[in-house]
Chain A
Amino acid sequence: MTTTPTSGAASPPRIADAAMLPSGAETAATSRRRRTRGGAYWQAAPMALVFLLFFVLPLVVVLVVSFWQYNSYSITPAFVFDNYAGVFDGCLASLPSLCTTFATYLSTIKFCLLVWATTLVLGFTIAYFLAFHIRTTTMQIVLALVCIIPFWTSNVIRMISWIPLLGRNGLINQILVGSGLVDHPVEWLLYSDFAVTLAFVHLLTAFMLVPILNSMMRIDRSLIEAARDAGASGAQVLWNVVIPLSKTGITIGSIFVVTLVMGDFITIGVMGGQQIASVGKVINVQTSYLQFPLAAANAVVLLIATLGIIFTLTRFIDIRKEL
């Protein structure tokens, strides 16, 4: 589980580093270029070392262990594909009904899509409002802070605070029953897909909002004026000017949201009453029963799946170029 968020958080700065290297060097003379290059490598070295130690190395260990053998009290070096076979056990045989792994991924991807779409609409709308409808910078900063300050509290606390609100005897149900709108408390508010999606949207909207806002603030206002002058309607300006120029923010926000949802097991566990599967929870159960190689294989599959989604996302936009 730990690998996925790391990879998500780690990618943007690494791309940024890589992009900086050649651009400075190309214009310089050959002799100077060599020196600048060397200097740039030295400058990048501390960061690279940190990545090597805390990102690449653990990842390699996970990869290596995923091919090992295990029993209930030890793991032994080997090179077998048993763990991967275990992850996909019965997946082909049981078609068309889904095996555990497919069902789990399907459920996780469903949340991914739901949360991504909702946070995108919310994040984009709020960012648009902040960027184009608030006139003074002070007010913009104040309102942006209003959006972000709640995120200074712990994830878990923000999530758990929904429970007294949504529960069978919670505030919403008390109001609904008290006002006579329903006879019995509404059960699907808590420990349901709805509750999980709600909590995710609550937790992750800021991750979408901030990059989009950042992109929008950098849009040259004269472009919008030009579009207006050329006779574009509000919708046309939005579709042909604002959205294309916000694509970087949208993509980065999407990467955050997708990787966080894919790797999560706490939100799904708490808000879903532990009755909804998530890949993270499967890995968690396996590690607690000391099935490290199997858990590692699962983590590698999850990493590949997440990277696949991010790869697809980056097809829509070349982040390096835009940055």
Chain B
Amino acid sequence: MAISDETKTAAVSRRSLLKAGAGLAGAGLATRLSAFPTPAIGAEPVTLRYLSTATNQSPAIAEKAMEEAGVKIEYVTVTTDEVAKRIITQPNSFDLVDSEYFSLPNLVPSGNLMGMDAKKIKLADKITPVLTKGTIDGKDVGSQGSAPWKYFYLDGRHSKKFAEAPTEWMTLIPTTYNADSLGDRPDLIDGEVTHWSALLDPKFKGKAALINIPSIGIMDAAMAIESSGQFKYKDKGNMTKAEIDKTMEILTKAKKDGQFRAFWTDFNQSVNLMASGEVVIQSMWSPAVTAVRSKGIKCTYLALEEGYRGWASGFALPRTLRDKKLDAAYEFINWFLSGWAGAYLSRQGYYPAVLDTAKEKMEPYEWAYWYEGKPAEKPIKAPDGTVIEQPGAVRDGGSYETRMSRIACWNSVMDENEYLITKWNEFVAA
């Protein structure tokens, strides 16, 4: 879910600058393309309207894509919910979309997306097995919730059904993924936090916060409840009505006892709550922890015993995309997987679909810090060049393998989603 997050944080000026530039150029091109669909303009770059949250959008990526792949990217920036809404209601308003796997059960039946031809994706077989098979180094990753590999393939190009076994038609080509956890303020807390149960621990009464997005908030709550030993779920990512009731009962009691200081819905709210000291422990996304720390305030992204809640997003194409735009979309996706973008996103703390190519584009000391859990040899820089960690620092949660192997459940949309939303509204009103 680290997706609706950076909508506001990612440097606005950079984005708007790019938008203006790409938009102007794109507008002119698009009209020319539709007016003269002849090979004569083959030399002109094709413009793709790229719909997503700000997470994976960056002027630097668009610039590099233009330079190396010859594809012009025109970003359309919206929130996570809005991405899903647009795919359902305005499927012709974009040429390429970056969506989350957990939305797929709602999106695919609409028939507005097309299966992507795996044969045209050069590095399709190099995509991390964490997402394709749910394994890392041969070990299984937690599969509760809408785990990506359950929704990886379609029966056919225009199928509305997910395939049981790998097929030629992929739903999304993964862009970024990571694991979310709790964050805390070690300077305001006595002792160490090692379990999810801390979220509901009366010790933090009035100083805890929960994410107010029903499908994700309930999973964080479930992690905490299971960890405190009050209840054991069969599948936290797909609860029965009885399990939802039980969860909400425990949450409502905690709320009435004054456990929560606030709930939050977007990235910035979580950063502010933590930075101001209103809250000392809460659901948190890895880049939000970095944001608090960049203000010079101590904040930890917790490596908890029960593991993480994973999320993953990827590219999809609208069903109506064809000809030059379709080719350009494949071209861009292939470029995206070829390393530069992966290295760029790695420096923001996300993980790319294909690791080998990203590794080639990163310095060995960077790779050691971001992926191997080793102390930084040199100052670690963000993509824009600001130093975010001094030599000696170690990444929270350790290496790639450690993090990924400890994913306990994935962001999901439950079968009982409607019931959950009703119950969640009831919880907020309680």
Interface residues of A (CB under 8 A from B): 72-74, 86, 89, 99-100, 103-104, 107, 163-164, 167-169, 187, 190-191, 273-277, 281-282, 285-286, 288-291
Contacts and interface: CB of A to CB of B under 8 A. Distances in A.
A273 B110 contact: no
Interface in B388-427: 413, 417-418, 421-422, 424-426
B261 interface: yes
A168 B277 contact: yes
Contacts of B425: 100, 104, 277, 282, 285
A285 B214 contact: yes
A104 B429 contact: yes
A276 B260 CA distance: 12
A169 B277 contact: yes
A73 B276 CA distance: 39
Interface stretch (B12-20, B80-88, B223-231, B236-244): B80-88
B90 to A, nearest CB: 13
A277 B263 CA distance: 12
Interface string B53-88: 000000000000000000000000000010011001
B421 A285 contact: yes
Given A72-B105, A191-B262, A285-B421, 18 more contacts: A72-B417, A73-B88, A73-B107, A74-B110, A86-B422, A99-B426, A100-B426, A103-B430, A167-B276, A169-B278, A274-B428, A275-B260, A275-B262, A276-B428, A277-B425, A282-B425, A289-B81, A290-B84
B276 A169 contact: yes
A169 B187 CA distance: 15
Of the listed residues A86, A100, A276, the one surrounded by the most CB atoms of chain B closer than 10 A to its CB is A100
B421 A286 contact: yes
* Interface size range on B against A: 35 or more
Contacts of B106: 72-73, 290
Contacts of B206: 187
Given A74-B88, A100-B422, A274 B263 contact: yes
B265 interface: yes
A59 to B, nearest CB: 20
Contact of B429 (A73, A100, A273, A290): A100
Nearest to B85: A290
A167 B276 CA distance: 8
Contacts of A89: 422
12 contacts: A73-B88, A169-B278, A187-B206, A190-B278, A274-B265, A275-B262, A277-B429, A285-B425, A288-B81, A289-B81, A290-B85, A290-B88
B212 interface: yes
B255 interface: yes
A104 B427 CA distance: 11
A277 B262 contact: no
A192 to B, nearest CB: 10
B428 A277 contact: yes
B367 to A, nearest CB: 38
Contact of A274 (B84, B262, B272): B262
A72 B81 CA distance: 13
Contacts of A104: 425, 429
Contacts of B255: 275
Contacts of B81: 288-289
Of the listed residues A164, A274, A291, the one surrounded by the most CB atoms of chain B closer than 10 A to its CB is A274
Contacts of A282: 425, 429
Interface of B: 81, 84-85, 88, 105-107, 109-110, 206, 209, 212, 214, 255, 260-265, 272, 276-278, 413, 417-418, 421-422, 424-426, 428-430
A168 to B, nearest CB: 5
A277 B413 CA distance: 23
Nearest to A276: B428
A288 B422 CA distance: 13
A107 B426 CA distance: 13
B422 A273 contact: no
A190 B424 CA distance: 23
B109 A73 contact: yes
A-B complex: 8 closest residue pairs judged by Cβ atoms: A273-B262, A277-B429, A274-B263, A288-B81, A100-B426, A73-B110, A72-B106, A103-B429
A274 B212 contact: yes
A45 B21 CA distance: 42
Nearest to B109: A73
A197 B413 CA distance: 35
B416 to A, nearest CB: 11
Of the listed residues A72, A164, A291, the one surrounded by the most CB atoms of chain B closer than 10 A to its CB is A72
A273 B261 contact: yes
A277 B422 CA distance: 13
A125 to B, nearest CB: 34
Nearest to A286: B421
A216 to B, nearest CB: 40
B259 to A, nearest CB: 10
A216 B262 CA distance: 43
A169 B297 CA distance: 14
Contact of A72 (B262, B277, B413): B413
Contacts of A274: 212, 262-265, 428
A220 B355 CA distance: 81
Contacts of A281: 428
A34 B428 CA distance: 58
Nearest to B430: A103
Nearest to A100: B426
A248 B81 CA distance: 43
A191 B209 CA distance: 12
B262 to A, nearest CB: 3
Given A168-B277, A191-B261, A275-B262, A291 B418 contact: yes
Nearest to A191: B262
Contacts of B110: 73-74
A86 B418 CA distance: 11
A232 to B, nearest CB: 49
Nearest to B415: A72
